[in-house]
Amino acid sequence: MKDIANIFDLPPNELEKKLKSAKSLWNDTAPQIKDFAKNLSKFIQKVETPYVLALDGAYGTGKTHFASRFSILLNKHIKTVYFSMWEQDYMVDPFVVLSEKIIWIARECAKGTSLTSNILESVAKATKIRAQFGIWGLFKIEAELSGEELINNLFPEKQRSDLFLELKLVLADFIKTLPNKKLVFVVDELDRCRPDYAVKVLETIKHFFDIPGLIFVLPINSERLNAYVEGFYNVSSGTFAGKEDYLQKFINQVITIPELNYEKICTDRVKLSEFGTNVSNDKNRYNSIQELQKWVAEYAQKAKLSYRETIEIIKRAKIFCREYKEPIRCRLLAHCLCNQKYIQNNKNLSNHDELPYGDNYAYLNKNTYNKESRKTLLLNANIFNNNTFLQFGGKATNEEVNIACKKISELKKNSYSYKEILETINNIRSELDLIDVENYLYEPFFVPYVTKEELRKKTREIKSFLNDHENNIKEFQYLTGSDDNDNERLTAYNNAIKDPTSLYK
């Protein structure tokens, strides 16, 4: 099931369970996020009002997931209303949107009292004034008057200011009757609105809803919203007085929502005792529990998986590791699991857009063997075919050297399997052993030529290089689990992840 960010989008029966239980409310959220929500709730309960708080987070970091759940938590202490401004931006005037929310709250909390009628009357007057002003194009006024002239002709300045002051006083009296004498609006997805509309919302909050007891919580991407504001007013942080963000003119404080600590999640949840014998405790090996923790954390973060999705990945990995028939290639498994979820969450991706594997040697993102990557580490037999002769000085004058070089040049070229490459290394080494360096005769009249000492040195250097390269290959295989079955294994992993029942065949 795809993770649902906005809790209010859950089916009614699931939402009801969430609302009844504090534990259920946060069971799909990381512990550190839950702790942050509790501390933030305490802060809002004590902060002086009016107050505008921005909760900053990059796109995809779970602002809506947090904000919708936080509003439920906060509502237990302070009357809190959550809504998406992006879903309301078809309405021309944000003042009307906020007024509707206030009327809804009044009907719910002050039903049957004089406060209800007072609020309705005050909101109606203020809304009517703004409609007649034609602010932000609520309707087209066909008159050859400037906006200022029209406003002045419709209402005297004192009458206009008195109506808005009356609205503020009535709302302030109403808020005093609420728990904790505060009212909180959690206005989500403001940074998804049209830039001009987002700025109008901020202006409306600042000029018309700076009311004692009223708090606005705005989950935003501050960088994006600040760009909206600076673009709207044609200013920049670099030229603005004091070099501050112009956004600060509307917001009292910006607090960053903690990002998921994927490393801690995996360290806490991925335990060796639960993953079977195909996973080891050798932290330097490809099938170690430490490798599994590391790569699940890294790929889950790259895929921007939620806490619940990450936990689900770990559960599926546990089943896979217990039932698979050989030591687990932990990085490959982590990538296959997270890549599948990444594709599910981003169905608009093209066929070529998958979760990047990274600086791999053995695998491409697709089910294709990566020859080019492996060649950066593994020996291409051609290196020693035609070039070995040149490493002896370019001109062999002894029959044994000639024979050895000829045999080396005839070895199989373009070998990509580990078996072929290791065999090539052994064959070259064997041919070098046949050269009788002590009885080698050189002819100084041939240029270039090599002396006996140079031949001994060259032979020793080549053997040393062969040994080093063989050791590098074997070390790479030990650390990564790569072998000549890489392609087949990649296919098998993906198939088993798509159909876990195949693990039991």
How do residues 401-431 score in pLDDT, each as one tens digit? 666 666 666 655 555 678 877 887 888 788 7
* 189: confidence class by pLDDT, cuts 50, 70, 90: very high
Q: Cis before residue 444, ω within 30 degrees of 0?
A: no
Between 74 and 482, residue with greater pLDDT: 74
* 40: confidence class by pLDDT, cuts 50, 70, 90: very high
Say whether 55 sits in a helix, a strand or coil: strand
Let me know if 64 is exposed, middle or buried by CB neighbors in 10 A (0-12, 13-18, 19+).
buried
Spell out the long-range contacts of 248-251 with Cβ–Cβ below 8 A and sequence spacing 24 or more.
249/206, 250/52, 250/202, 250/203, 250/205, 250/206, 251/52, 251/53, 251/54, 251/202, 251/218
Mean pLDDT of 450-457: 75
**Can you state the angle between helices 307-323 and 486-498, rounded to 10 degrees?**
120
| pLDDT tens sequence across 285-314 | 999 999 999 999 999 999 988 888 899 999
Q: In total, how many domains does the chain have?
A: 3
* 273: confidence class by pLDDT, cuts 50, 70, 90: very high
Domain identity same for 289 and 316: yes
Among 162-176, 244-258, 411-425, top mean pLDDT goes to 244-258
504 CB-side CA count, 13 A: 4
The whole-number pLDDT of residue 117 equals 58
CA torsion 435-437-441-443 (nearest 10°) is 90
Q: Which of 236, 256, 276 is the last residue of a domain?
A: 256
Residue 454 in domain: yes
The whole-number pLDDT of residue 401 equals 66
Label each residue of 326-363 as H, E or C: CCCCHHHHHHHHHHHHHHHHCCCCCCCCCCCCCCCCCE
Q: How far apart are CA 109 and CA 115, in angstroms?
A: 10
Residue 293 in domain: yes
Largest Cα–Cα distance in the chain?
118
CB atoms within 10 A of CB 338: 25
Domain identity same for 422 and 320: no
* 92: confidence class by pLDDT, cuts 50, 70, 90: confident
The whole-number pLDDT of residue 71 equals 94
Q: How far apart are CA 434 and CA 354, in angstroms?
A: 51
Domain identity same for 249 and 339: no
Residue 405 in domain: yes
Domain identity same for 116 and 233: yes
Domain identity same for 343 and 209: no
**Is-contact 363 486, C-beta < 8 A?**
yes
Between 232 and 160, residue with greater pLDDT: 232
Which range marks the domain in which residue 499 is found? 262-362+486-504
Q: How far apart are CA 231 and CA 247, in angstroms?
A: 11
Domain identity same for 271 and 222: no
Between 149 and 200, residue with greater pLDDT: 200
The whole-number pLDDT of residue 357 equals 82
Q: What are the C-alpha distances in Å from 288 to residues 25, 291, 302, 357?
A: 35, 5, 21, 19
Say whether 78 sits in a helix, a strand or coil: coil
Domain identity same for 96 and 214: yes
Render 395-449 in DSSP notation, one character per residue: ---SHHHHHHHHHHHTSPPS--SHHHHHHHHHHHHHHHHT--STT----TTSSS-
* 144: confidence class by pLDDT, cuts 50, 70, 90: very low
The whole-number pLDDT of residue 22 equals 64
Domain identity same for 164 and 245: yes
Domain identity same for 71 and 211: yes
Look at residues 90, 98, 88, 156 and name the one whose alpha carbon lies nearest to residue 127. Answer: 98
* 45: confidence class by pLDDT, cuts 50, 70, 90: very high
Residue 43 in domain: no
pTM for this one?
0.65
214-220/51-56 β-pairing: parallel
Mean pLDDT of 337-357: 81
| CATH classification at residue 59 | 3.40.50
Residue 433 has pLDDT above 60, yes or no: yes
Residue 19 in domain: no
Domain identity same for 298 and 408: no
Residue 409 in domain: yes
* 458: confidence class by pLDDT, cuts 50, 70, 90: confident
How many residues in total does the chain contain? 505
Between 173 and 378, residue with greater pLDDT: 173
In the block, residue with structure tokens 């600086």? 359
Q: Which of 226, 256, 286 is the last residue of a domain?
A: 256
**Is-contact 251 36, C-beta < 8 A?**
no
The whole-number pLDDT of residue 415 equals 59
Residue 35 in domain: no
Mean pLDDT of 76-80: 93
What is the Cα 54 distance to its own chain's centre? 21
Residue 368 in domain: no
Whole-number mean pLDDT of the chain? 76
Domain identity same for 82 and 199: yes
Domain identity same for 111 and 240: yes
Q: Which two tokens stand for residue 193?
A: 């609105």
CA torsion 438-441-444-447 (nearest 10°) is -100
| pLDDT tens sequence across 108-121 | 776 555 555 565 56
Which amino acid does the sequence have at 351? Answer: N
**Is-contact 394 458, C-beta < 8 A?**
no
CA torsion 358-361-362-368 (nearest 10°) is 70
